[in-house]
Structure 1
Amino acid sequence: MNQLVIMHNQQAVTSSLQVAETFEKQHKHVLRDIDEFKKDVPNFGLMFFETTEPDSYGRERRVYFMNRDGFTLLAMGFTGNKALQFKLKYIEAFNAMEKKLIAPQPNYTLPQNFKEALLMLAEAVDENEQLKFEIESNKEKVILANAITTSDEGLLIEAAAKYMRQNGVNIGRDRLFKWLRNKGYLVNRQGREWNMPTQKSLNQGLMKIHCHLYYDSEGELKTSRQVVVTGKGLMYFINKFLHDGQLKLSL
């Protein structure tokens, strides 16, 4: 119940997914109810914002964001004492989020004399130097993240695990292999296909197989196969860890 209301485009909103989960309804039924408003609500577009989000399989699905007015209109049809308690919690969450939006900004006072101006300048220089230090410290991480997400080559499993570990995820190569097998992203069947991407991983573009030709010591032409995690796959798996609450990662 901690994420009933979120910030989206500088507005306090909730989503049809969150409403369905909180009120224990099927998401398709919540979508159906919202779609019905399109016919009779003139300012529908000011209260509801349709978008898409991937499900747990990476498939795009329709989702609505709604502001306080949209939620109120939708929730009017939810009855019962339990529904009433949920409505009250939503209203509290909207109020808290909107309070942050309109919170007054800190006032900045002008220096009263030359000494005070020098002290303020010194503090500003210190803050600027600290900011420059943080930017330099994170530059390598930002460059690496951009390179990974835009690369078609992808990362070997070991390199992907290292990247996660460098960003605070307590996972290594073997544990990542095991997790990927258990979750159905790698083949969990002993044999030639062991640790190869499943069709699901390939179809979603999460992984690739790189094939290389080489000659063995007997002069026979052989093929070696390497599994790589694509940039899309790396971000997908990171989000899976975060969504499942198993690991914490800071990019």
Structure 2
Amino acid sequence: MKVDVQIQQRLLDLAGVDAELSRLRHRRRNLPEDKVIAELEAERQKIKDDAVGKEMILDDLDRDIRRLEREVEQVGKRELRDNQLMQSGSLPSKQLSELEHELATLARRRSLLEDDLLEYMEQREAADENYKHAGAKLSQIDDKISDANRQRDEALADIEVAERRCNTDRNALVRLFPDEFLELYTEQLTIRGIGAGHLQGRRCGACRIELDRGELERIAATPDDGVVQCPECSAILVRNARSGL
């Protein structure tokens, strides 16, 4: 295959654009912002689980407090009833004695219940502070995730701008090349990821392997407009005065 020397030189421009597109695709797949977001999301899940656990503790304490409040109320009603009976003056002495004993028992019971209620309310106050602290941490991590998402979106927008620019340049370049020459380049690009390289200092610019003397002599004997390929990676080799031939 023979292609004008100047056209072959422009193939390096196309290879450069394709290399940049490849770098952009790799950058898109490996955005550091995505890793940060994943780490933050994992941290958020832990904080959320912790907050849920603290909320469950609060719910349990609230249930116990309501139970104790009901029991205190019931004991209080029983005390009120007994006091009213004692003050009625219509009970025999034996029943009065029994009521006095019952009132003493109820008073002890109410005191124990109130002590328990106070303890539970103190526990609830501490648990509520823990829950609020977990909620604050959750809010902070949400802010961090929002900021990381914004940075990721900005990075993607930059990539998209660069990709559009590269695709515009590429569309203009591919019109310069004969179909067969472009097909050969595209085939190698698809297979190897690099379709062309500059032969410089006896080294292939695509695979970076230095060619042996026999291959260099063969390439040197090829006319300037002849298309040559790297014997190692098959990329099209673009030659010029710096090729060491």
Provide the TM-score with structure 2 as the length reference. Answer: 0.22
Q: Which of the pair is proportionally richer in strand? A: 1
Q: Which of the pair is proportionally richer in helix? A: 2
Provide the TM-score with structure 1 as the length reference. Answer: 0.21
| Bigger radius of gyration | 2
Structure with more relative contact order (C-alpha pairs < 8 Å, separation 6 or more): 2
